[in-house]
Amino acid sequence: MFETKVAVVVLDDLAVWQKLNVTAFLATGIAASAPDALGEPYLDAAGRSHARLLGQPMLVFAGDAAGLLRAWQQGIARGLTRAVYVRAMFATGHDAANRAAFLAEPAEAPDLVGLALRGPRKDVDKATKGLALHG
């Protein structure tokens, strides 16, 4: 049992490629913010080293816009680590443009299409309450 929990919430009406893209980007944000949560490098039978992975499960949820916003607000209120992806980021081509797109969003109601949270289990559970696991 882990003391912390990782949850990714993706807008339920995105195209499949968008859901996968958003999930991948958000997972990197969580991994970058928690290097202590990464496992050791993977070695194959030939002795080649492969990248480290997050050492705990990530739950992926689907939600509507209201559910994403509520989870984001709960994440802020509970001091959880947050990684965000807004709709405008689909039209950008690099990290600086992504950050500018997020900065341009309304501070209290960004147009979220994805969110990742990491923190104490009970706080992540409360932030994702009512959301269904992605199916």
CATH number for the domain including 106? 3.40.1490.10
Q: What is the pLDDT of residue 1?
A: 80
The pLDDT averaged over each successive group of 10 residues in the chain (135 residues) is 94 97 97 94 98 94 98 98 98 96 97 98 97 92
Q: Tell me the C-alpha distance between 96 and 88, whole Å.
A: 13
Which of the 8 DSSP states describes residue 37?
G
Residue 99: give the domain boundaries.
4-133
Counted domains in the chain: 1
Q: What is the pLDDT of residue 78?
A: 98
Q: What is the pLDDT of residue 48?
A: 98
- Please state, in angstroms and as integers, the Cα–Cα distance from residue 108 to each residue in 3, 100, 128, 130, following that order: 29, 16, 18, 21
Q: Which two tokens stand for residue 42?
A: 């993977």
What would the DSSP string read from start to end of 48-108?
Answer: -EE---BSS-EEEEEE-HHHHHHHHHHHHHTT-EEEEEEGGGGG--SHHHHHHHHHTS-TT
Phi, psi of 105 (to 5 degrees): -75, 150
| Total-model pTM | 0.94
Q: What is the pLDDT of residue 16?
A: 96
How many alpha carbons lie under 13 Å from residue 24 in its C-beta half-sphere?
6
